[in-house]
């Protein structure tokens, strides 16, 4: 038997309020693609930080290529041959690809040598990238390639990938898997963290399952089903969603030729977006991050009030110039993509974070001002924690103390619990385990069935196909026509995510024209096609 690339023996890490890892043992062989699977708060991130030198374990030993190592920081990890690609990129927008990569490499190399190395490595692994392009001109998928190339140029013996496909189109995921399989065939070991079970089954040949900070199972994922992996991870299969057909009601949200020039040089212009969301339906917007989602959502939430009068309406009310609090009074509740900073204040308790958007626990006396009914506020937070199965120490737990997935459940629960008329959510299950994702999606469908109008912006196509009635795609600030979910395909939406929907629209119009005289207007990429 060859010497294991990585061995963790009885790793334990304690924090004041939780034991993140308890006697975790794990072995990764050379050339093995090893998944680390677990629900939110299971201890995966802490374990990866220990391997990469960002966190020091309280107990246990780490062996790399058979030798006991004490990795004090990421620089020592990289020197050993351990590289990590994080879920959130660490690139400087204002400098080039080559300059970004150069910053993380041995300074004995010149910028020209690094540029040549990038070209060679990109050619070797089929990662198409121009080293002279400024990072702010890249798509998110291209940024991910930069991160991967930067890791590959260190010639890693162990590569750690944290949710690497969360921002990629289906076509880009296929290309990434080709690269990873080639790396593994050359002897590089890969630690792969993902909540997408079908990816783990396709790519990985070993899997360690964590639950509550402990190892609860080891398996070959290629021999498992999604259901059996879910059972290993959360102790049960996720509940099946019921998506029953129903007739939508009146329009609740109407966008009419929304045009917004970008506010900064790295933004995206919104170009003539028109959209309707009716009561009792879920409308989805797919697209690769950085194609105008941020700008559109700011206009919808009220953070950007530059829209022309009449461009944004809720039912019969023109809300184009109304701020978030005014729109909230009309029944709009919004979940942003950024959990900490926009969705929640890190240093406030969960109870006090409710006050960002919920004011039921505030008493307003006649003379003005407000008194917080603390017991009512904490009970309200406790109800949300219980309903959405949030792993937290209680209503007084600080937002920053929760794992990303558990904080997401709380924020989504806070807004759903308000019984909105219009619910807008961005990336509802990003970084959330399969059990929690199924619960959130079920709650979205329950809102829809209760008559709420729901708009979901997500990069998870499987999620959109599961909960939506109709689907749009956003690309370069333009919105595609809507397509009923029953008629949409993954391949078609993947192509539309690159902005290639005009040909499909023209073909559809030609089919209509051949069927006889019709009068149809279809918006495609900000333009109108008349048949």
Residues 131 and 280 in one domain: no
Helical spans, DSSP H, in 249-342: 293-301, 324-329
Domain residues for the domain of 276 are 251-331+420-500
CATH number of the domain encompassing residue 158: 3.40.50.300
Is residue 106 a contact partner of residue 153, using CB atoms and an 8 Å limit?
no
User: Looking at the predicted structure, is the pLDDT value of residue 488 above 50?
Assistant: yes
Tens of pLDDT along 245-274? 889 999 999 999 999 999 877 679 999 999
pLDDT, residue 91, reads 87
Give the domain-ending residue among 169, 203, 234: 234
The total of structural domains in the chain comes to 2
Give the domain-ending residue among 234, 266, 293: 234
Give the domain-ending residue among 179, 204, 234: 234
Q: CA-CA distance, 424 to 300, in Å (whole number)?
A: 8
Residues 157 and 258 in one domain: no
Residues 260 and 216 in one domain: no
Question: Three-class SS of residue 79?
Answer: helix
Q: pLDDT grade, residue 531 (50/70/90)?
A: very low
pLDDT, residue 88, reads 65
As given in the structure block, the two tokens for residue 482 are: 């809507």
Examine residue 345 and state whether it is found in any structural domain, yes or no.
no
Of 240, 203, 239, 241, nearest in space to 37 by CA: 203
Residues 162 and 267 in one domain: no
Q: pLDDT grade, residue 210 (50/70/90)?
A: very high
pLDDT, residue 503, reads 62
User: Looking at the predicted structure, is the pLDDT value of residue 17 above 80?
Assistant: no
Examine residue 150 and state whether it is found in any structural domain, yes or no.
yes
Examine residue 199 and state whether it is found in any structural domain, yes or no.
yes
Residues 267 and 325 in one domain: yes
Examine residue 531 and state whether it is found in any structural domain, yes or no.
no
Is residue 307 a contact partner of residue 258, using CB atoms and an 8 Å limit?
yes
User: Looking at the predicted structure, is the pLDDT value of residue 481 above 90?
Assistant: yes
CB crowding 472-507: b at 16 or more within 10 Å, else e: bbbbbbbbbbbbebeebeeebbbbbbbbebbebbee
Examine residue 400 and state whether it is found in any structural domain, yes or no.
no
Residues 77 and 172 in one domain: yes
Is residue 140 a contact partner of residue 167, using CB atoms and an 8 Å limit?
yes
The alpha carbons of the chain give a radius of gyration, in whole angstroms, of: 24
Half-sphere CA count of 47, side-chain side, radius 13 A: 36
Is residue 137 a contact partner of residue 113, using CB atoms and an 8 Å limit?
no
Residues 89 and 221 in one domain: yes
Residue with tokens 């009885």: 10
Residues 109 and 30 in one domain: yes
Tens of pLDDT along 177-207? 988 999 999 999 999 998 888 889 999 999 9
Q: CA-CA distance, 189 to 192, in Å (whole number)?
A: 10
Mean pLDDT of 297-325: 96
pLDDT, residue 202, reads 93
Q: What is the DSSP letter of 164?
A: T
Average per-residue pLDDT for the chain: 87
Examine residue 226 and state whether it is found in any structural domain, yes or no.
yes
All residues at 6 or more sequence positions from 484 whose CB lies less than 8 Å from its CB, including other chains: 469, 470, 471
> What is the percent of the chain where pLDDT is above 70?
91
Q: CA-CA distance, 391 to 101, in Å (whole number)?
A: 38
Q: Helices 404-416 and 434-449: crossing angle, nearest 10°?
A: 10
Residue 66 backbone class (left: φ over 0; alpha: ψ -120 to 50; beta: rest): left
Range name among 88-102, 174-188, 310-324, 359-373 with the lowest pLDDT average: 359-373
All residues at 6 or more sequence positions from 335 whose CB lies less than 8 Å from its CB, including other chains: 343, 411, 412, 415, 424, 425, 426, 428
Residues 306 and 183 in one domain: no
Range name among 103-112, 445-454, 519-528 with the lowest pLDDT average: 519-528
Q: pLDDT grade, residue 530 (50/70/90)?
A: very low
Mean pLDDT of 229-238: 78
Is residue 136 a contact partner of residue 460, using CB atoms and an 8 Å limit?
no
Mean pLDDT of 329-341: 89
pLDDT, residue 527, reads 37
Residues 225 and 282 in one domain: no
Examine residue 393 and state whether it is found in any structural domain, yes or no.
no
Q: pLDDT grade, residue 475 (50/70/90)?
A: very high
Residues 221 and 74 in one domain: yes
Examine residue 529 and state whether it is found in any structural domain, yes or no.
no
pLDDT, residue 45, reads 85
Residues 258 and 180 in one domain: no
Q: CA-CA distance, 487 to 350, in Å (whole number)?
A: 41
């Amino acid at each position: 038997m060859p010497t294991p690339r990585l061995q963790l023996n009885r790793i334990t890490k304690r924090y004041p309020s939780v034991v993140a890892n308890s006697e975790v043992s794990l072995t990764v062989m050379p050339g093995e693609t090893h998944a680390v699977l677990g629900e939110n708060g299971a201890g995966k991130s802490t374990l990866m930080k220990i391997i990469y030198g960002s966190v020091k374990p309280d107990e246990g030993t780490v062996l790399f290529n058979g030798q006991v190592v004490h990795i004090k920081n990421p620089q020592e990890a990289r020197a050993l041959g351990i590289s990590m690609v994080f879920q959130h990129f660490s690139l400087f927008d204002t400098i080039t690809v080559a300059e970004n990569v150069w910053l993380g490499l041995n300074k004995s190399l010149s910028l020209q040598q690094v540029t040549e190395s990038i070209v060679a490595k990109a050619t070797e692994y089929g990662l198409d990238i121009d080293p002279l392009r400024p990072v702010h001109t890249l798509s998110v998928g291209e940024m991910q390639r930069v991160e991967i190339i930067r890791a590959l140029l260190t010639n890693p013996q162990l590569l750690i990938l944290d949710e690497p496909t969360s921002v990629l189109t289906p076509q880009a995921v296929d290309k990434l898997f080709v690269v990873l399989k080639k790396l593994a065939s050359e002897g590089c070991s890969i630690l792969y963290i993902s909540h997408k079970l079908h990816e783990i089954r396709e790519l990985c040949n070993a899997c360690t399952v964590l639950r509550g900070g402990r190892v609860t199972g080891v398996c070959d994922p290629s021999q498992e089903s999604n259901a059996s992996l879910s059972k290993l991870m959360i102790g049960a299969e996720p509940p099946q969603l019921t998506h029953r057909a129903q007739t939508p009601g009146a329009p609740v949200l109407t966008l009419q030729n929304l045009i917004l020039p970008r506010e900064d040089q790295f933004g995206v212009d919104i170009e003539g977006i028109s959209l309707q969301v009716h009561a009792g339906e879920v409308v989805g917007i797919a697209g690769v991050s950085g194609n105008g989602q941020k700008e559109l959502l700011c206009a919808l939430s009220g953070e950007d009030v530059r829209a022309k009068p009449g461009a944004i309406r809720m039912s019969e009310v023109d809300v184009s110039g109304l701020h978030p609090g005014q729109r909230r009074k009309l029944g709009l509740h919004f979940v942003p993509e950024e959990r900490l900073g926009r969705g929640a204040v890190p240093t406030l308790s969960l109870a006090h974070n409710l006050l960002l958007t919920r004011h039921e626990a505030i008493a307003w006396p006649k003379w003005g001002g407000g008194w917080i009914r603390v017991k009512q506020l904490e009970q309200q937070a406790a109800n949300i924690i219980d309903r959405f199965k949030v792993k937290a120490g209680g209503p007084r737990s600080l937002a920053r103390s929760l794992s990303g997935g558990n904080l997401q459940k709380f924020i989504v629960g806070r807004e759903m619990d308000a019984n909105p008329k219009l619910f807008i959510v961005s990336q509802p299950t990003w970084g959330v385990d399969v059990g929690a994702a199924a619960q959130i999606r079920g709650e979205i469908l329950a809102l829809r069935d209760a008559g709420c109008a729901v708009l979901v912006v997500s990069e998870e196509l499987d999620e959109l196909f599961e909960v939506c009635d109709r689907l749009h795609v956003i690309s370069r600030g333009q919105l595609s026509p809507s397509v009923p979910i029953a008629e949409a395909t993954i391949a078609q939406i993947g192509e539309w995510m690159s902005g290639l929907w005009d040909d499909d629209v023209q073909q559809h119009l030609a089919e209509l024209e051949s069927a006889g005289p019709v009068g149809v207007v279809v918006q495609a990429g900000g333009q109108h096609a008349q048949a």
